[in-house]
Chain A
């Protein structure tokens, strides 16, 4: 399950500009064209390919929906969103990392891929309190450029489709491959 907390349509972007508890859209100074070029155009490009590969997509991920996803038995949940001041931006607003930890069932034993930068406190809390689930996150203090990661996941799911690997093995393979080809600027 590939879930997005950030807006992916013009309507959602414009609505977010006036949302008191969200700020990712405001980082683009209200300019939809910039947001479209940096994020939405790339999402539109990868979306049909991800669907072809059988990836379940969840745009406009609210915190409540996130809770449901964790109980629906997905092996892997990728949370693609914005992190600031120890909170993740969901479609309905920022949620503090403590609340996120509490909403994850102790029985959840899948992979939670946190494509947000850089949720260190959340990762530490999850590793201590939700020992059954596997967490993947970006360790180093590198800036997470959204479109780069969209293509990373496209490469990852393509790799998973053709090779008999676990999710984490495939992540390692693709990261290593991309590092070798393009250097480690984003990984």
Chain B
């Protein structure tokens, strides 16, 4: 999964890159580059922190759904233990639901790792260097460049 296709995360990065003037198109002539300030990076840290909070809530919801489906499956299997057709149906349904939730969790896990790396870089590196890494992360993992050839 090379691309992180998450609209909210994309918006957060675009807000930051816009703020430091790195989202605009580069002209053919001289163009004054604005210096990246510590406050700019703090702003992205705040946005990503909000993202982490909402992601954490969603992860909890996913785990609760997973646990409930597990309990529900056990109850249904016990109730229909005399009926092999019903057992097949319940087991199949539970498996599909679990796969869906695990896939969802996997997606959140990747996002969580990505954000954790971004937050560490923003916190530890000088603003200019952190901005370089954020620019690269955005273009490599979040944005899908038009007809990108690799």
Contact of A83 with B28 in the complex, beta carbons under 8 Å: yes
Residues of B close to A29: CB separation below 8 A: 22, 131-132, 135-136
Asked if B84 is at the interface of the complex by the 8 Å CB criterion, the answer is: no
A residues near B25, Cβ cutoff 8 Å: 38, 145-147
Q: Could you tell me which A residues sit within 8 Å of B by CB distance?
A: 6, 10, 24, 27-31, 33-34, 36-38, 41, 44, 80-85, 115-118, 143-147, 149
Given the known interface contacts A29-B132, A31-B136, A33-B139, the answer about A83 and B30 at a Cβ–Cβ threshold of 8 Å is: yes
Residue from the list B28, B30, B140 in contact with A33, Cβ < 8 A: B140
Given A36-B148, A41-B147, is A81 in contact with B135 using a C-beta cutoff of 8 Å? no
* Sample of 15 further A-B pairs with CB below 8 A, known A27-B26, A27-B31, A146-B25: A6-B28, A27-B33, A29-B131, A29-B132, A31-B135, A33-B143, A34-B26, A34-B139, A38-B25, A116-B29, A118-B29, A143-B27, A145-B25, A146-B26, A147-B25
Please indicate the chain A residues that have their CB under 8 angstroms from the CB of B135 in the complex: 29, 31, 34
Complex Cα spacing A116 to B29, Å: 6
CA distance A36 to B140 in the complex (A): 12
User: What A residues does B29 contact at CB under 8 A?
Assistant: 82-84, 116-118, 143-144
Contact partners of A117 in chain B: CB under 8 A = 27-30
Chain B: residues with Cβ within 8 Å of the partner, total of 21
Q: How far is the CB of B4 from chain A (nearest CB, A)?
A: 14
Nearest chain B CB to A100 CB, angstrom units: 16
User: From B26, which residue of chain A is reached at the shortest CB distance?
Assistant: A27
Contacts of B139 in A (CB 8 A): 31, 33-34
A6 proximity list for chain B (CB < 8 A): 28
Question: Chain B residues near A37 (CB, 8 Å)?
Answer: 145-146, 148
Indicate if the CB atoms of A41 and B26 lie closer than 8 Å: no
B149 within 8 A of A: yes
Q: List 16 A-B contacts (CB under 8 A).
A: A27-B26, A29-B131, A33-B139, A33-B143, A37-B146, A37-B148, A38-B26, A41-B147, A83-B29, A83-B30, A116-B29, A117-B27, A143-B27, A143-B29, A144-B27, A144-B29
**Given the complex of chains A and B, what is the CA–CA distance between A117 and B25 in angstroms?**
14
Give, as a whole number of angstroms, the nearest-CB distance from B78 to chain A: 54
Q: Mark B22-57, 1 if CB is under 8 A from A, else 0.
A: 100111111101000000000000000000000000
